[in-house]
Amino acid sequence: MTYLIVRLATIGNVAMTVPVIASLSRHYPNDRFIVASKKNLGAMFASMPNVEFCEVDNHLDWKGVWTFWKTWRDKIDAMIDLQAVLRTRVLGTLMKLSGRRVTRVHYGRIRKHLITVWGIGKRHALPSEFDRYHNAFRRAGLETDNSFKALPVNKEAAKAVRTMTGKKTGRWIGMAPFAKSRSNMLPYRVTKDIIERLSNEPDTRIFLFGAGVIECEMLRQWATVFPNTLSVAGKLKLEEELELMRQLDLMICMDSANQHLSGLVGLRAISVWCATHPIIGFMGWKQKTEDIVQRHDLRCRPCTCHGTNHCRYGNFACRQIEAENILQHI
């Protein structure tokens, strides 16, 4: 059997499919799984022998949907839609009309909307995204489990990382201070305070992670100011970032992709949640609840599932978390 798995975006959400798809790869070694996702994310699936990666435009416009259907309709036996948006639903309908079995993930968007917009149902945590993926595959007749621990070592990528960082001595801490939305980030003064205090501790080296032109430049400048600090933003491929994370003792990150990438290599992460909240279901793979930093005194949280650049009260009180609170967790 050949299965097409569609999960287009974002990096963090695609990373959350890896533990589940890895269990599929082990359970069904004679089947073929094709993962359709955005460019440059294939490294997360490269170690799975019966999993192929297919690069797709992140937006998958209507012309792309038609082209994708014509390309794959005769090559697959079933489709699992882990995106569940209008375009992938249309693609699934075309696949059904071609006689292929189609299964979609159930995201519970109505319940998420009730929690984030109206504050209804906050007392009960929603199923995790991992559980939703498991259920989608089970409805497709495929068994999965939670036995995933970490991706195997990529020796070539690990060698490239050693060339940049040198041999590990002392304590290595990663920090990914940025996110796509303002509501998911700490104020810059708090971030710089954390980096300054950690970089001045003995036998401690700080690695700064990020993406995007502006982020990379900011992190580069911070790395020149603080001692024992190296910015790797924009310098490493995805597989190399994963191998560097594997060598770290700890990752400090927001509710962002780096929380999920850390889980893929078994790295413990202290995650900071501002406007978002773990009850929505986006905690990293086997990350610990005691490693979450958040404000419990705000009734307006969570006000978003993935992040926003606006605050209904105009003060972003959820971002007012002091450096000392995070340093205590470390």
The CATH architecture annotation of domain 155-329 reads 3-Layer(aba) Sandwich (3.40)
Query: Would the CATH topology of 2-139 be identical to that of 155-329?
Result: yes
CATH number of 2-139: 3.40.50.2000
Domain map of the chain by residue range?
Answer: 2-139, 155-329
Q: Is 0.85 topped by the overall pTM?
A: yes
Helix crossing, 11-27 with 129-139: angle to 10°? 40
pLDDT by residue, tens only, the chain of 330 residues: 999 999 998 899 999 999 999 999 999 999 999 999 988 899 999 999 999 999 987 667 888 899 899 999 999 999 999 999 999 999 999 999 999 999 999 999 999 999 999 999 998 999 999 999 999 999 999 999 999 999 999 999 999 999 999 999 999 999 999 999 999 999 999 999 999 999 999 999 999 999 989 999 999 999 999 999 999 999 999 999 999 999 999 999 999 999 999 999 999 999 999 999 999 999 999 999 999 999 999 999 999 999 999 999 999 999 999 999 999 999
The letter for the amino acid at 86 is L
Residue/partner pairs of 288-295 with CB below 8 Å, 24 or more apart: 291/329, 293/321, 293/325, 293/326, 293/329, 294/321, 295/320, 295/321
The letter for the amino acid at 102 is V
